[in-house]
Structure 1
Amino acid sequence: MQNKIEADVVVVGGGPAGIAAAIASGRQGVKTVLIERYGFVGGMSTAAMVYPWMTFHTDSGEQVIKGIAQEIVDRLQERGGSPGHLRDTVGFVRTLTPYHPEIYQVVAADMLREAGVTLLLHSFVDDVAVSDGVIEGVYVTNKSGRTLVRGAVFVDTSGDADVAKLSGAETLQGRDGDNQSQPMTMKFRMRGVDLAQIKAYMLQHPEEFYSKTPIAELEHLPLTGVSGFYSHWRKSGVPINRDQVLFFAGPADDEVLINCTRVQGLDATSAEDLTLAEQEGRKQVLMMAEFLQRDVPGFQRASISAVAPQIGIRESRRIVGHYLLTKDDVVQGRKFGDVIARSGYPIDIHDPSGKGVTASFISGDGAYDIPYGCLLSMNVPNLLAAGRCISTSHEALATTRLTPSCMATGQAAGTAAALSVKNGVTPGKLDIASLQEELRKGKAAI
């Protein structure tokens, strides 16, 4: 006999966007279920070790992401799981936010429970029940067998627009022309790193590092991130298609997170390609660790302390929404009447086939709006998206995919889903002003 679960709002994907969406929905008093395929929440922030969170602020220092995202940071700080927002010593953005992933998992689960959310871990959505173009439920496979989770409104925070695809919603993938996506990266941590030695080298050789590195202030700042060691990389002979070394400090004092592997030309929505990517990523981890230990100051006594359970995915599928956010919207700092989130992170495209990273910075006040239309599926009326799979161009995705932005769109989608249930309307018919009022009550910075 098939199991059934009845809910008002069903959120699929327990990453940062899904956590924020489910908390926001639960706090509205509607019955909310969050489905996650792993045995823990956190998504790319835990399963793929995407670290640190970048960024809650504009380049001038204005905080444009608050609400549930900031509440999570506050709770982490109370538990000793984050120092809060620090200056980015790479210099790419104003701030970054280190966090301890194991503490984050517990904090997030506590907040979900407090909001009354039913959490289903070790559960994989493999099909969607649709009637007359409307989603009636999602099929979940887990240790209990097969379960139909029914709901009124569904929020796809899977990262890969899995629910959207299975429901028949229109989706896009990759860049125009060849559908190629940004490369995947296998993150890993090393302990025994001498950060003082690294900082001293940076002060002596500023030309070896990213041009925006705040060298003049470095003596007085904690080292949070490093991009460069250009000559070391050029001489290394490591067969990875990139042009610099990139790592971030923490969470321990002698620990760094290495963001250097690069797996290109594979499709994160293909099981076969994802299998190849996982294997290639782990080979590259060993290459990078050997190079760092041998050639880079501060790594002589370092060793691998952890490798991500899964490869990090920057880009895969995204929905076709009522509005598609573009590069021009971002770089012009465009404002929208139906704004539900803001971001100050620049466009940051890791080349799908080449070595480099293309950056495009935001003009005006340094922030752009994300409109509600980006969360609404064009052709499935009771489906919302949040996080990496909202409606954007390939270029705009290179900023909306960042974790704080995902948290912000998650809070908006969860709030909208709950209000739609309470008002007996589809999300597309929801009064924008009432949604924005609730988001402001939830301390969102819109």
Structure 2
Amino acid sequence: MDRILEADVVVVGGGPAGINAALASGRMGAKTILIERYGFLGGMSTAALVYPWMTFHTEKGDQVIKGIAQEIVERLQERGGSPGHLRDTVGFVHTVTPYHPEIYKLLAVEMLKEAGVKLLVHSFVDEAVVEGDRIRAIQITTKSGRYEIRGNIFVDASGDADVAYLSGAPTYQGRESDGRTQPMTMKFRMRGVDLEQVKAYMLAHPEDFYHKTPFAKLREIPLTGVQGFYTQWKASGVPINRDQVLFFTGPEKDEVLINCTRVQGLDGTDVEDLTEAEEIGRRQVLMMSEFLKSKIAGFSGASISAVGTQIGIRETRRIAGAYSLTIEDVVQGRKFADVVARSGYPVDIHDPSGKGVIAADIEGDGAYDIPYRCLLPKRIENLLAAGRCISTTHEALATTRLTPSCMATGQAAGTAAAIAHLDRTIPRKIDVSKLQLELRKANAVL
């Protein structure tokens, strides 16, 4: 027989979106449970080594994501787990935010305990019990058997829209023309990197790096990221379908995070495709490591220090919501009356089949609004989405999928879930102005 647990709000997915959703809900006084399949929190930020967090600011440097996300950064800083927001020396965005994944894992658990949230790890959601247009419960498989988790309001922060899919809510996947998704990446870290050599080579060969690299400031500011080494990559012969080397520094002084592998044409929701992707990704890690050590300045004495627990997923399913954010909304910096989060991250589409990245900046004040309607799936009335699986087009997902944006929509979804429970209504019928007031009280930027 299934063991039964009950809560007011049930959050599925312990990544940054789910953590912030559970924190927001718990702090509002709702009895909250957070379900996570791994034995630790952090989602792609820890399991897949997605690093650093990009970005809390607009291109001009205005901070548009604060709230719980900023609180986490500050608490990481207090314990030496982050230097805070630093200038992006790639030049793609204004700031990046390095963090120590092990410190983040523990801090998240401590904050959830402070908020009274019950956490269940090693728990895989595989069924939704639906009655009419409501989820009555979800089923999880655990080491100690099956559990039924009953709730009033559910938040899908799984990244893959798992709860929405299992409950019968309509979802989309990939680009509209052929369903293909942005590639997966197996990220890895190397230590023993001489970053002074890297910087010296960049200053001597600026033509070999991304055109927005801030060379004029590079002697004064710490190196946080590098995109380029075009000449070496073009001559490398490494069979990875991309056009440049990309890595970010930290968290240790001689350490970098390599974002160079690329696995295309496979489905991140298909177990056989995922099995193949993990093998391909790890083979590419070894190829990249040997290339970097033999051809790139500063890497001759480096070695692999960590590889992702799983391959990084940029795109799978997303909900079909009351509104789908479009690339026009993003690029034009559109404002919405029901805004619940903002973002200054530009469009960043990793080509599903080609080598490159399609990028587009945000007009106006450099930020766009994410409306509450993007969090509301069709058909299922007591469900909200947060993070990577909110309602967008394929192109708009290329900005909303970034971690700070996911943190912001997570806080919005958790707050909305608590309000819906406390007001004895459904998310679609809550007073959005009340939601916005609560978010502003919690230091969110709207």
TM over 0.5: same fold?
yes
* Aligned equivalent of 1:421: 421
What is aligned with 2:208? 208
TM-score (norm 2): 1.00
Structure 1 residue identity aligned to 2:98 = P
Q: Which whole-Å deviations, capped at 9, do the CAs of 1:313-336 have from their partners, x for residues lacking one?
A: 000000000000000000000000
Equivalent residue number for residue 256 of structure 2: 256
User: Match of 1:56?
Assistant: 56
SS across alignment from 1:243 = coil
**Aligned twin of 1:398:** 398
The aligned residue for residue 359 of structure 1 is 359
> In structure 2, what is the equivalent of residue 2 of structure 1?
2
Please report how far the alpha carbon of residue 26 of structure 1 lies from its aligned counterpart in structure 2 after TM superposition: 0.2
Structure 2 residue runs of 5 or longer lacking an equivalent are none
Cα offsets for 1:214-240 (capped at 9, x unmatched): 011100010000000000000000000
Residue 165 (structure 2) aligns with: 165
Q: Could you say what the CA RMSD is over the residues aligned between the two structures, in angstroms? A: 0.4
Matched-pair identity in %: 72
Structure 1 Cα separation of the partners of residues 379 and 53 of structure 2: 33
Cα deviation for residue 379 of structure 1 reads: 1.2
Corresponding residue number in structure 2 for 1:32? 32
C-alpha distance in 2 between matches for 1:380 and 1:346: 31
Give the aligned partner of residue 311 of structure 1: 311
- Opposite residue 288 of structure 1, the aligned amino acid is M
In structure 2, how many angstroms separate the alpha carbons of the residues matched to 1:107 and 1:407?
15
1: CA distance, partners of 2:366 / 2:206? 27
State the secondary structure of the residue aligned to 2:218.
helix
Aligned to 2:88: 88
Q: Are 1:115 and 2:109 matched, yes or no?
A: no
Question: Which letter does structure 1 place at the counterpart of 2:176?
Answer: D
In structure 2, give the amino acid aligned to 1:251. P
1:3-22 mapped onto 2 (5 Å cutoff) = 3-22=3-22
Q: Cα deviations across residues 162-196 of structure 1 (Å, max 9, x unaligned)?
A: 00000000000000110000000000000000000
Query: Hey, what's the Cα distance between the residues in 2 that align with 1:270 and 1:124?
Result: 15
User: After the TM superposition, which residues 150-229 of structure 1 pair with which residues of structure 2 at under 5 Å, given as runs?
Assistant: 150-229=150-229
SS of equivalent residue, structure 2 residue 264: coil
Query: What's 1:267 paired with?
Result: 267
SS of residue paired to 1:309: coil
TM-aligned CA deviation for residue 296 of structure 1: 0.4
TM-superposed CA distance for 1:144, in Å, is 1.8
1:333-352 aligned at under 5 Å gives the runs 333-352=333-352
Amino acid at match of 2:265: G
Measure, in 2, the Cα distance between the counterparts of 1:175 and 1:143: 37
Rounded to whole Å, the distance in 2 between the matches of 1:378 and 1:341 is 20
- SS of corresponding position for 1:25: helix
Structure 1 residue 359 displacement after superposition: 0.1
Q: Which residue matches 2:46?
A: 46
In structure 2, distance between residues paired with 1:163 and 1:225: 36
Name the residue aligned to 2:74.
Answer: 74
TM-score, with structure 1 as normaliser: 1.00
Instruction: Give the Å deviation of 1:133.
Output: 2.2
Hey, which bits of structure 1, 4+ residues long, moved more than 3 A? none
How far has the Cα of 1:143 moved from its partner?
1.5
Paired residue type of 1:195: L
For residues 312 and 101 of structure 2, the distance between their equivalents in structure 1, rounded to whole angstroms, comes to: 15
Which secondary structure state, in structure 1, belongs to the residue aligned with residue 219 of structure 2?
A: helix
What one-letter code is carried by the residue in structure 1 that aligns with 2:285? V
1:378 aligns with 2:378: yes
